[in-house]
Structure 1
Amino acid sequence: MGSAADRADTPLLAFDREHVWHPYTSLSAPSPVRMVTGARGVRLSLDDGSELIDAMSSWWAAIHGYGVPELDAALREVDFAHVMFGGLTHAPAIRLAQRLVDLAPAGLDRVFLADSGSVSVEVALKIALQYQRGRGRPERTRLLTVRGGYHGDTFGAMSVCDPVGGMHSMFTDVLAPQVFAPRPPAPGGDVEGWATEFRSLADDHRDEVAAIIVEPVLQGAGGMWVYDPACLQVMREVADEHGLLLVLDEIATGFGRTGELWGADHAGVRPDLMCVGKALTGGYLTLAAVLCTDEVARGVAASESGVLMHGPTFMGNALACSVALASLDLLQARDWRAQAARIEAGLRSGLAPCADLPGVTEVRVLGAVGVVQLDEPVDVVTVTDAAAEHGVWLRPFRDLVYTMPPYACTDADVARIGEAVTAGVTAAVPTAGMLA
């Protein structure tokens, strides 16, 4: 197939290179891109006639794959695409809110429909601050979180991302200063020692912190780090002790990705607020939501504004809500738990050879997530090309080659993904092939 960089430009690709900004790239020295002409099942069709298994689920969203009949039908059956949600409502939004309440941890029965994951985090942070104002604690304006986290690319979300090793470290001086605890330990690690530091930090800042926000069990774009679920129990206890809200960002971890429906389920913890997104619509349309308890909603209502001060233009989009309902139906019909367990077994087997390759520091698998960490940053183009030669689309970052496959992948697909990840890691460390 050859490298994307080696292929001749079509007029569209030439325009793309000169004018279209892709995520985390430079327009002055753009990274090569591949032209997708179609997508069906778990495969992307490219303009050179080749196909690639999408081992990234389009950044963890397309859990059912592409061209899904049930989801396609849901879009065609909507009577209208969108109406403003201010002063109006409609059945798809109401039914989606009902379904989310049914699926969420008990007590999270108030729903705010946002239009992207980052926006849902912004809304959750705003809710936490308004709640504290409504409870007579306006001085509580900071957030407590942990190192290694990632919550989105907007300014509020960036402020609770890792301020040193994260993708937004260059903005640290202009972001709201938050309170950062050490990264939680891996399963079986020193939870007690970490908890002592976390409790001490919360106590030191008890009069200025409004809420705790973390990704449960699995940190995503901050490093694909898996941590001990007992840490979530510690956070719940600390929140209760100090009158803080516990916000769980389930945008990447929700809907079965970690082997439980919610990351919080690994610890049996109920948050006060929960953000969901990405896989909510099966990757078809952008949509997110914030769920909270009645107590939190009452606190917001008691603040001086009396209302939640947020209202996205495309909030409650009818098309997105309709396809989200169909996606959740499909998730349950196809037995997400069995799918995640099957993929987990396949990834454990398929990624095992990577542990013996030079430069590899750790191989991690949790649910339908597989991660290979190296001892130095990888060359994205080299790894991507190596995986593509094996018929798989990967998008590594920093020192990580990882996969979050669609749940619709067959065992053969998962095995192919394992081979491609191994090939990508081997290409990332040139000596690996000679020493293997």
Structure 2
Amino acid sequence: MEDLAFDRSHIWHPYSSIAHPAPQHRIRRAEGIWLTLDDGRRMIDAMSSWWCAAFGHAPPSLVKALQDQAAQLPHVMFGGLTHQPAIDLSRRLTAVLPEGLDRIFYADSGSVAVEVAVKLAIQVQIARGHRRRTALATVRGGYHGDTWKAMSLCDPETGMHSHFGRAIAPQHFAARPPVPYGADWPEDPALNGLGEVEALLSRHDAEIAAFIIEPVVQGAGGMYFYHPAYLRGLRAICDRHAVLLIFDEIATGFSRTGAPFAADLAGVRPDIMCLGKALTGGMMSLAATIATRDLACEAGMLMHGPTFMANPLACAAAAAAMDLWQSADWSARARDIGAQLQRDLAPAAGLPSVAGLRVLGAIGVIEMKTPLPMDKVHRFCAETGVWLRPFGKLLYTMPPLTIRPDELTQVSAAMLAIARGL
């Protein structure tokens, strides 16, 4: 209790107030899908610890990779030096990414990977002689991270813009893609949202360097799934206006949507792709910004260089995670999880407190009509043995892809209990 009191007094947790700290559960051990609390109780990590522990916690092959690497080369600067873990990981990535995406810049986190992508896009436009093309476009409902430029690209109403006022650079926003995943696709641009994008890029043709979007799945901005055809139309519009297209696959990469990458659902290759989260299997932080060769050459010297860029420990863990990912059909497993979530969560659709239910791959979302009582939910999680962390009106799960059907049933039961009012 003394340690938790110290925590409450001195340690900031994500999106929390130090003056009014939220309750915390102290975790002693994480293994497989399970989190073990100090008192010995266990909870299923139904969040994959913010979506990164895709294969559960501490897979033996990833632990061994870290241990072996730590004994040999924990870290070395990447400026003027290189190392085998970075080379090995890059070989694995270029073999599975959409053809042509094969120039890789490693960063510390997903948010930084977005910053690098934006820097790259602007440098390319300036190198092409378009010195005014320094603005960015995106859609509402998105989330791209908490650093400054990434934050400016999050939804201006549900994001953090109001907390920082004019310090956040204004960007160009189109409406959220209006056609949900699984719905019929209308070809009329006035109905499918692409007419607004075309008009936006036409109005600001000389200003916009790139258009960034989370492909198919908008994550922390609202857990919304939209039609993949939107991305095909967006690709064509960006090409017409010489605007670079960036896919933020930080949350969706590595089979989460039921496809290797969300871009595969649309059959679209972006100019730049950002990866993170499950890249290391949740072992530690690492992200990547990947571009085509031509784009990388146009940019010239990319003006970014994190101290821990391509950290050998992180690269070794990521290479082992890639091997684990390629050892089985995890995309099929994600689709199986989705099918069970659709069945198990179906009763939620009829609850008077529920506004909607949606599932895609290994992502299940119950949208409530009013915000959930977070403190009450957190106590309930420890009591029932399922860790869920809703935000606002959204109660969702992104469980590890290793979860068994009976364990997934426990997750669904907990979600239904919360939706019913605990």
Name the CA shift for 1:226/1:172 in 2 (closer, same or farther; >3 Å). farther
User: Which of 343, 349, 360 in structure 2 is aligned with 1:349?
Assistant: 343
Please state how far the C-alpha of 1:65 moved relative to its aligned partner. Answer: 0.8
Say whether residues 1:245 and 2:244 are aligned partners. Answer: yes
* 1:260 aligned partner: 259
Unpaired runs of 5+ in structure 1? 1-9, 302-306, 429-436
The one-character-per-residue Cα deviations of 1:223-277 (angstroms, maximum 9, x if unpaired) are 0010111111111011100111100000001100001111111110000000000
* 1:45 aligned partner: 36
Letter in 2 for 1:20: I
Distance 2:318 2:147 in 1: 24
* 1:58 aligned partner: 49
The one-character-per-residue Cα deviations of 1:33-75 (angstroms, maximum 9, x if unpaired) are 0010111110000012100000000000001111211111111
The one-character-per-residue Cα deviations of 1:166-223 (angstroms, maximum 9, x if unpaired) are 2443224211111000000213265632111111111111110000000000000000
Say whether residues 1:22 and 2:9 are aligned partners. Answer: no
Please state how far the C-alpha of 1:423 moved relative to its aligned partner. Answer: 1.1
Distance 2:284 2:79 in 1: 21
User: Which of 57, 60, 67 in structure 1 is aligned with 2:58?
Assistant: 67
- Helix, strand or coil at the partner of 1:422: helix
Letter in 1 for 2:149: G
Answer yes or no: is the 8 Å Cα contact 2:256–2:331 preserved in 1.
Answer: no
* 1:397 aligned partner: 391
* 2:303 aligned partner: 309
Say whether residues 1:232 and 2:231 are aligned partners. Answer: yes
User: Which of 167, 171, 176 in structure 2 is aligned with 1:174?
Assistant: 167
Say whether residues 1:93 and 2:86 are aligned partners. Answer: yes
Letter in 1 for 2:122: L
User: Which of 375, 385, 405 in structure 2 is aligned with 1:381?
Assistant: 375
Letter in 1 for 2:285: T
Letter in 1 for 2:56: G
Distance 1:138 1:37 in 2: 53
- Helix, strand or coil at the partner of 2:345: helix
Name the CA shift for 1:190/1:13 in 2 (closer, same or farther; >3 Å). farther
Please state how far the C-alpha of 1:99 moved relative to its aligned partner. Answer: 1.0
Distance 1:277 1:24 in 2: 20
Name the CA shift for 1:222/1:396 in 2 (closer, same or farther; >3 Å). same
The one-character-per-residue Cα deviations of 1:110-133 (angstroms, maximum 9, x if unpaired) are 000111000000000000100000
TM-score in terms of structure 2 length:
0.96
Letter in 1 for 2:207: E
* 1:294 aligned partner: 293
More displaced 10-residue stretch of structure 1: 372-381 or 277-286: 372-381
* 1:434 aligned partner: none
* 1:279 aligned partner: 278
Please state how far the C-alpha of 1:342 moved relative to its aligned partner. Answer: 1.6
- Helix, strand or coil at the partner of 1:427: coil
The one-character-per-residue Cα deviations of 1:1-54 (angstroms, maximum 9, x if unpaired) are xxxxxxxxx111010000000000111010000010111110000012100000
Q: Percent identity?
A: 52
Letter in 2 for 1:424: I
Letter in 2 for 1:125: V
Answer yes or no: is the 8 Å Cα contact 1:163–1:172 preserved in 2.
Answer: no
Distance 1:131 1:248 in 2: 17
Please state how far the C-alpha of 1:322 moved relative to its aligned partner. Answer: 0.3
Where does 1:213-228 land on structure 2 (aligned, <5 Å)? 213-228=212-227
Distance 1:169 1:373 in 2: 24
Answer yes or no: is the 8 Å Cα contact 1:387–1:421 preserved in 2.
Answer: no
Answer yes or no: is the 8 Å Cα contact 1:386–1:427 preserved in 2.
Answer: no
Letter in 2 for 1:42: I
Distance 2:325 2:374 in 1: 32
Please state how far the C-alpha of 1:288 moved relative to its aligned partner. Answer: 0.2
* 1:83 aligned partner: 76
Letter in 1 for 2:409: A
TM-score in terms of structure 1 length:
0.93
Where does 1:61-210 land on structure 2 (aligned, <5 Å)? 61-78=52-69, 79-185=72-178, 186-187=180-181, 188=183, 192=189, 193=191, 194-210=193-209
The one-character-per-residue Cα deviations of 1:250-308 (angstroms, maximum 9, x if unpaired) are 0001100001111111110000000000000010010000000012112211xxxxx10
Name the CA shift for 1:365/1:172 in 2 (closer, same or farther; >3 Å). farther
Cα-Cα RMSD: 1.2
Where does 1:362-377 land on structure 2 (aligned, <5 Å)? 362-377=356-371
Answer yes or no: is the 8 Å Cα contact 1:383–1:427 preserved in 2.
Answer: no
- Helix, strand or coil at the partner of 1:269: coil
- Helix, strand or coil at the partner of 2:90: helix
The one-character-per-residue Cα deviations of 1:304-341 (angstroms, maximum 9, x if unpaired) are xxx10000000010000001011111111132122112
Please state how far the C-alpha of 1:384 moved relative to its aligned partner. Answer: 2.7
Letter in 2 for 1:103: V
- Helix, strand or coil at the partner of 1:77: helix
- Helix, strand or coil at the partner of 2:106: strand
Answer yes or no: is the 8 Å Cα contact 1:38–1:44 preserved in 2.
Answer: yes
Instruction: State the aligned residue count.
Output: 414
The one-character-per-residue Cα deviations of 1:358-402 (angstroms, maximum 9, x if unpaired) are 221110100000000011211112223334332100000011000
Say whether residues 1:326 and 2:317 are aligned partners. Answer: no
The one-character-per-residue Cα deviations of 1:145-182 (angstroms, maximum 9, x if unpaired) are 00000000000100111111224432242111110000
Answer yes or no: is the 8 Å Cα contact 2:43–2:381 preserved in 1.
Answer: no
Say whether residues 1:409 and 2:403 are aligned partners. Answer: yes
